[in-house]
Amino acid sequence: MKKKVKKATKKVAKKPAKKVTKKGAVAKTLTMKTGVGVQPLADRVLVRPLSPEEMGTTTSFGIIIPDTAQKEKPEQGTVVAVGDGKLLDDGSVRPVEVSVGDRVMFSKYGFDEVKIGGVEYYIISESNILAKISS
């Protein structure tokens, strides 16, 4: 006589994938999702400049405030990708202090303009980033 053997079936809850803690790897993953496909090197940061609506130079009714009425202020943007960090003299790497998604303020003339897929981005050295802006 044959015995019927029941297989134990356990439903195992799937664990979410581990987050990568290395900033460069995270930035690379996020840029692939956004379609930018650019990975800055060393301590450089890829920033999408804010539109006039995002910066507050347009009123809620759509009236544009002219540049002459505004004081000159540093540029602002959103971080799209970051490099691995600055290589120090002792051979270690100091990671970049900003991360993807941060809103930053940077010096007016301290960036290089690039167009990727018809969208304008700035490549900025970390030393030219003046501050993070909290929302």
pLDDT digits (tens, 9 = 90+) for 97-121: 999 999 999 998 889 999 988 899 9
Q: Where are the domains of the chain?
A: 23-133
Torsion angle in degrees (nearest 10) through CA of 56, 60, 66, 71: -30
Whole-structure pTM value: 0.63
Handedness of CA 95, 96, 98, 100 (dihedral sign): negative
pLDDT digits (tens, 9 = 90+) for 44-92: 999 999 876 677 665 556 666 665 555 555 589 999 999 999 999 999 9
Share of the chain above pLDDT 70, in %: 56
Other C-beta atoms closer than 10 Å to the C-beta of 23 total 19
Q: Report how far residue 133's alpha carbon sits from residue 135's, in angstroms, rounded to the nearest whole number.
A: 6
Q: 23-133 has which CATH code?
A: 2.30.33.40
